[in-house]
Amino acid sequence: MMHPIPSGTRDVLPEEMRELRAITGAIQEVFDAAGYGELYTPALEHESVLRRGDPDAAKPAYRLFDENGSVLVLRSDMTIPIARVVATRYEDAEPPLRFAYLAHAYRSVRPQRGEAREQLQAGIELIGAPGAEGTAEALTVLCRSLDAAGLTSYRIGLGDAALYPRLLTEARVPGPAQRRILHELVTRDFVGLARELEGCGGDEELLRIPQLRGGIEILDRAGAAADGLRALHALLEPGVAGRMIFDLGLIRDLGYYTGAIFEVYDDALGVPLGGGGRYDDLLGRFGRSLPAVGWAVEVERLHVALAGRRGPRS
């Protein structure tokens, strides 16, 4: 007999659950050892509150009315709720603050892609640790977590959300053209990027730079705009630095990133396992202005990667 569950959701039976627990247990030991305290926030939030953090409220897929007619959403990530907690419950606490979570986030799915509506995320937020030092710590905890989970062949794509806009500004590309150019980059269309750059007289180098991926040497092409990434690289211990693939065209689609951004790749999976970055303006929108950095890894994708096969998107 078939009693369906919504597409993009699944039941997890004890055998798989034991495997997932082994992964999350190993990661939580890393969080504990690094001084990150676990935090839980409600799955349901007021949409109006999430909108303070991001005009799109981090793109919630599920809205509902409570008994008073208020609009609630199922959280689509943990970063904005934690920013809310910091501003309300840690108003006077001395930074830096270190939080970790193991929680579900809810996303819309595109039909027939095998995407998950409900994703178990493991992640951290490091609040009040500015610049390269903070980002280096977050990347170190990320690598330790993936190592502890048993992943061996992963790489981390590392870019800077502010780098390419800065190069465009230095090249005196006007604002409206910048927005069109960045749209092509966000949608990963280098043919469109070439067309838009040609339209505003942008030079060949502006087309080449966002296509550079590789070691630290590629930063030379971007000049002073890459100083932030250079400083970050200098702080990474060799085992962490060796995982990095610098990517000068990396842009993530969430609107709150301000500096370094990163994504986790493994050749067993055609999609990133997770990612994160700096969001130095987000907490200020909730009334406690502190620089911050964080990341999340999707536990079920990590599980697929550990199984070492190209599996379905999850």
Partner 1 sequence: MNAPLTIAVPRGALMAGTLDLLDAIGVDTAEVRSNDRKLLFDDAGIVTMRPSDVPTYVEAGAADLGITGKDVLREQSEREVVELVDLGFGPCKMIFATEAGDPDPAREALRRLGVMRIATKYPKIATRHFARTGRMAEIVEVHGSVELAPLTGLVEGIVDLTATGTTLRENGLVIREELFDASARLIANPVSYRLKSAAIDRLLERVRAAGHPA
Residue 110 structure tokens: 């595109």
Q: Single out the segment in contact with partner 1 by CB under 8 A; choices: 75-83, 233-241, 263-271, 292-300.
A: 263-271
310 binds partner 1 (CB under 8 A): yes
270 binds partner 1 (CB under 8 A): yes
198 binds partner 1 (CB under 8 A): no
Binding positions for partner 1, 155-174, rule CB under 8 A: 155, 157
Find out whether 266 and 308 touch, Cβ atoms under 8 Å.
no
Binding positions for partner 1, 55-114, rule CB under 8 A: 110
Pairing of strands 37-38, 97-106: parallel
Distance (Å, rounded) from C-alpha 18 to C-alpha 20?
A: 5
Which residue type is seen at 143? C
Binding positions for partner 1, 218-257, rule CB under 8 A: 245, 247
Q: Which residue, 244, 12, 27, is CA-closest to 151?
A: 27
Among 150, 199, 214, 239, binds partner 1 (CB under 8 A): 214
Distance (Å, rounded) from C-alpha 239 to C-alpha 21?
A: 26
The 3-state DSSP class for residue 239 equals helix
Q: Name which of 81 and 157 has its Cβ closer to partner 1.
A: 157
The radius of gyration computed from the CA coordinates of the chain, to the nearest angstrom, equals: 20
For residue 123, what is the enclosing H or E element?
strand 118-127
Among 226, 269, 290, 293, binds partner 1 (CB under 8 A): 269
Q: Name which of 232 and 244 has its Cβ closer to partner 1.
A: 244
Backbone angles phi, psi at 37, to 5 degrees: -85, 135
Q: Name which of 129 and 219 has its Cβ closer to partner 1.
A: 219
Q: Single out the segment in contact with partner 1 by CB under 8 A; choices: 63-71, 82-90, 175-183, 189-197.
A: 189-197
Residue 244 structure tokens: 């990095």
Closest approach of Cβ 289 to partner 1, in Å? 33
Q: Which residues bind partner 1 (CB under 8 A)?
A: 110, 155, 157, 187-192, 194, 213-214, 245, 247, 263, 265-267, 269-272, 310, 312-313
